[in-house]
C-alpha cells in the first residue's frame, strides 16, 4: 500500500469510527504497526489535520482541512444514511466499507447542528431486513477492476443445472437484486451475452485479452437484443 493510500485510509477511519479511537484500532484499520501509526498521525498533523488525543487515550479528528464544508437538509441526511446502510445487505464488504467511508466524509463536513442530527439518525434509522442474499465467493474487487478496465476474466461457473464449465468472459455490468448479484457479460465460449449468478462463480482470474473500447457498443447490442428476447441465464 502506498503512503498516500495509507494516510487516506487513516483519515477515513478517523472520520468513520466513534471518537476517541485507540491507536490499536487505527493500526488494525490501516494495516500498520503501532510505531508506523504514530508516525502517520504526526504526518497528518503536520499537513494541517487537527487531531486531538495521544497514545493510551485515543484520537479524534476535530477539523479536516481536506474537505470543504457542505450542507444538507435533515431529510437528505436520512436518505443518504439509509442508502449507505442498504449496501450492507449486498454481501460485498468492500463496497459497503466504501459507502461508509464516503458517508463519514460527508458528515465530517456538515455544520455542527447537522452533524449532530446525522449521528442521532445513524442510531435510530434501521433498514428493513429482507431475504438473505447469497454472498459472492469471488474477489469482487477483481471483478470491478475488470469492469472498469474493460479486461477479460476467466471463470469457472456452476450453472443452475449444476453443470460446471470454464470460460473467458467480457464483463459488462453488475446488477444487485434481493436474491442474488448478477453479472452481465459477453461469453467468449458461446459468443453471445450471458447473465451469470455471481455466487455461482467458483473461480475467477484475470484473462489475457482486453475488449476496450467495445464495451459501449456491446451494451447497445445487448439492449437491442433484450428488447426482443431476454438473454439466457447461464
pLDDT tens digits, one per residue of 195-222: 999 999 999 999 999 998 888 889 889 9
How many angstroms from the chain centroid is the CA of residue 144?
9
Question: What is the sign of the dihedral through the CA atoms of 142, 147, 151 and 153?
Answer: positive
Q: All domains of the chain, ordered by start, with CATH?
A: 3-63 (1.10.10.10), 74-124 (no CATH), 140-228 (2.30.30)
Q: pLDDT tens across 23-50, in order? A: 999 999 899 999 999 999 999 888 888 8
* Concatenated DSSP letters of 67-114: S------HHHHHHHHHHHHHGGGGT-HHHHHHHHHHHHHHHHTS-HHH
User: Which grid coordinates belong to 66?
Assistant: 481536506
The total number of residues shown for the chain amounts to 234
Using a pLDDT cut of 90, give the percent of the chain over it: 32
Average pLDDT for the chain: 83
At residue 103 the predicted structure's pLDDT band, cuts being 50, 70 and 90, is confident
C-alpha to C-alpha distances, 181 to 41, 137, 141, 176, 178, nearest whole angstrom: 39, 11, 14, 5, 8
26: which 3 cell numbers? 487505527
Percent of the chain scoring above 70 in pLDDT:
85
Closest listed residue to residue 200, CA positions, set 153, 145, 163: 163
pLDDT score of 225: 84
Amino acid at each position: 500500500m502506498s503512503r498516500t493510500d495509507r494516510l487516506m485510509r487513516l483519515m477515513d477511519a478517523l472520520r468513520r469510527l466513534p471518537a476517541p479511537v485507540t491507536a490499536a484500532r487505527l493500526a488494525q484499520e490501516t494495516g500498520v504497526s503501532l510505531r508506523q501509526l504514530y508516525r502517520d498521525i504526526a504526518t497528518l498533523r503536520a499537513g494541517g489535520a487537527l487531531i486531538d488525543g495521544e497514545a493510551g487515550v485515543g484520537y479524534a479528528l476535530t477539523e479536516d482541512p481536506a474537505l470543504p464544508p457542505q450542507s444538507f437538509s435533515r431529510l437528505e441526511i436520512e436518505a443518504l444514511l439509509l442508502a449507505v446502510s442498504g449496501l450492507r445487505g449486498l454481501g460485498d464488504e468492500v463496497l459497503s466499507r466504501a459507502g461508509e467511508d464516503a458517508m463519514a466524509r460527508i458528515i465530517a463536513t456538515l455544520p455542527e447542528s447537522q452533524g449532530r442530527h446525522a449521528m442521532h439518525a445513524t442510531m435510530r434509522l434501521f433498514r428493513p431486513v429482507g431475504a438473505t442474499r447469497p454472498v459472492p465467493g469471488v474477489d469482487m474487487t477483481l471483478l470491478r477492476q475488470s469492469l472498469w478496465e474493460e479486461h477479460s476474466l476467466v471463470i469457472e461457473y456452476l450453472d443452475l443445472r449444476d453443470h460446471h464449465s470454464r470460460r473467458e468472459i467480457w464483463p459488462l455490468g453488475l446488477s444487485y437484486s434481493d436474491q442474488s448479484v448478477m453479472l452481465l457479460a459477453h461469453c467468449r465460449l458461446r459468443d453471445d451475452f450471458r447473465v451469470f449468478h455471481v455466487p455461482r462463480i467458483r473461480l475467477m482470474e484475470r484473462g489475457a485479452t482486453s475488449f476496450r473500447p467495445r464495451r459501449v457498443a456491446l451494451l447497445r447490442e445487448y439492449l437491442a437484443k433484450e428488447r426482443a428476447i431476454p438473454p439466457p441465464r447461464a
